[in-house]
Amino acid sequence: MIAVLRQDATQEQIESLCSWFREKGLDVHISRGEYQTILGLIGDTSRIDTDLLCGLSIIESATRVSEPYKSANRKFHPQDTVVSVSDTVRIGGGHFALIAGPCSVESGEQITTVAQAVQKAGAAILRGGAFKPRTSPYDFQGLGGEGIKMLSQAKQITGMPIVTEIMNANQLDLFEDVDIIQVGARNMQNFDLLKELGRCGKPILLKRGLSSTIKELLMSAEYIMAGGCEEVILCERGIRTFETYTRNTLDLSAIAVLQERTHLPVIVDPSHATGAARLVAPMARAAAAAGADGIMIEVHNDPASALCDGVQALTPEQFAAVAADVKAVRGALGLDK
Ligand code: PEP
Ligand code: MN
């Protein structure tokens, strides 16, 4: 971090500021110019608040030169993190996984039927929402704990690990049999939830917020990792822009940017990104070509009667075709381990 001091800063003020930095464990490099004094702060500056510094009377500006996320940063952990899911599936570091299933669990029969179909087509992990963050309180809110039991049953029958969304830390007891806990876009910055999940001992699938920058996504991952969890999977699911022909705008560049900046696996959700079944296949192929470590797709046995997100759901047959395309893209590019 670099702090530029005001010209009228007295020697006494500068010394007192430097001792404060040293007390925080930082080395201070003082560079005195003819008109300006600049302090270079060396060490872990993640606990220093730049806004607070800028508010001090002797500081003109303070700028970070390194990222405030440390655990998620590739600089301090150059090798890719490989997340192991229930000892059978791996994601990251060249290991690719397809995650598929309905937006929400609607019945035991529905989730098991979809699970068997997507598994046959190549999906490694089953998704299904039990707690649904709906825009309207009058829309279907999910089956809650009962939905998780139905997912568990589908897991028992197929052997597929399951991922489902948590909305509140007080639901954690119900997630015992869940293999990956999902934090939805709307909760990406629910910091109390993130802190709690960092201590829960399970892999976390963290979705990018609707209006969040890549840096904010990484800072949210940092919250989870600060609690001791090293298995965080990041998910690009589209962000809100001025575009209206798609539900969100899929930021494919986030895959490459994230893989540069973090060692954590990065997956893509083309279903919520586009909001239209016909757009899922091209975006899934593009995500695979861009090097995503996984793709999550909504699949429903009868999209027209789905209780949630039916317009973006693929039928099992459509999903099978996408899975084959993704396999072909990865094969052609030599991405498979
Ligand atoms: C979901 O995956 O079911 C979901 C609600 O997605 P998002 O949080 O990305 O909107
Ligand atoms: Mn959905």
pLDDT digits (tens, 9 = 90+) for 81-103: 999 999 899 999 999 999 999 99
> What's 21's domain CATH number?
3.30.70.1140
Q: Are 58 and 23 in contact (CB under 8 A)?
A: no
The ligand whose atoms approach the alpha carbon of 134 most closely is 1
The ligand whose atoms approach the alpha carbon of 237 most closely is 1
Phi–psi pair at 312, nearest 5 degrees: -105, 0
Q: Do 296 and 171 fall into the same domain?
A: yes
Residue 239's SS3 state is strand
Is residue 68 domain-resident? no
Q: Do 100 and 187 fall into the same domain?
A: yes
Q: Element (H or E) spanning 28, and its range? A: strand 27-32
Phi–psi pair at 86, nearest 5 degrees: 45, 35
Full domain range(s) for residue 43:
2-63
What tokens were used for 226? 């600060």
Q: Do 55 and 125 fall into the same domain?
A: no
- The burial of 19, by beta-carbon neighbours within 10 Å (0-12 exposed, 13-18 middle, 19 or more buried), is given as exposed
State if residue 297 touches ligand 1 by the CB under 6 angstroms criterion. no
C-alpha dihedral (196, 201, 204, 209), degrees to nearest 10: 10
Q: Do 200 and 264 fall into the same domain?
A: yes
Atom of ligand 1 nearest to the CA of 182: 2
- pLDDT of 34 higher than 90: no
> What's 304's domain CATH number?
3.20.20.70
Digit-coded pLDDT (tens) for 164-188: 999 999 999 999 999 999 999 999 9
State if residue 129 touches ligand 1 by the CB under 6 angstroms criterion. yes
Read off the pTM: 0.92
Q: What is the pLDDT of residue 35?
A: 84
- The burial of 79, by beta-carbon neighbours within 10 Å (0-12 exposed, 13-18 middle, 19 or more buried), is given as exposed
Residue 96's SS3 state is coil
Q: Do 190 and 244 fall into the same domain?
A: yes
- pLDDT of 159 higher than 80: yes
Q: Do 28 and 107 fall into the same domain?
A: no
- pLDDT of 66 higher than 90: no
Q: Do 11 and 135 fall into the same domain?
A: no
Query: Measured in angstroms, how far is the CA atom of residue 185 from the centroid of ligand 1?
Result: 6
Is residue 78 domain-resident? no
Helices (H), the chain: 11-23, 50-55, 108-121, 145-158, 191-198, 214-226, 253-261, 270-274, 277-289, 316-332
Based on the structure, what is the number of domains in the chain? 2
Q: Do 306 and 175 fall into the same domain?
A: yes
Q: Do 175 and 304 fall into the same domain?
A: yes
What tokens were used for 263? 């060692």
Q: Do 149 and 295 fall into the same domain?
A: yes
Is residue 297 domain-resident? yes
- pLDDT of 233 higher than 90: yes
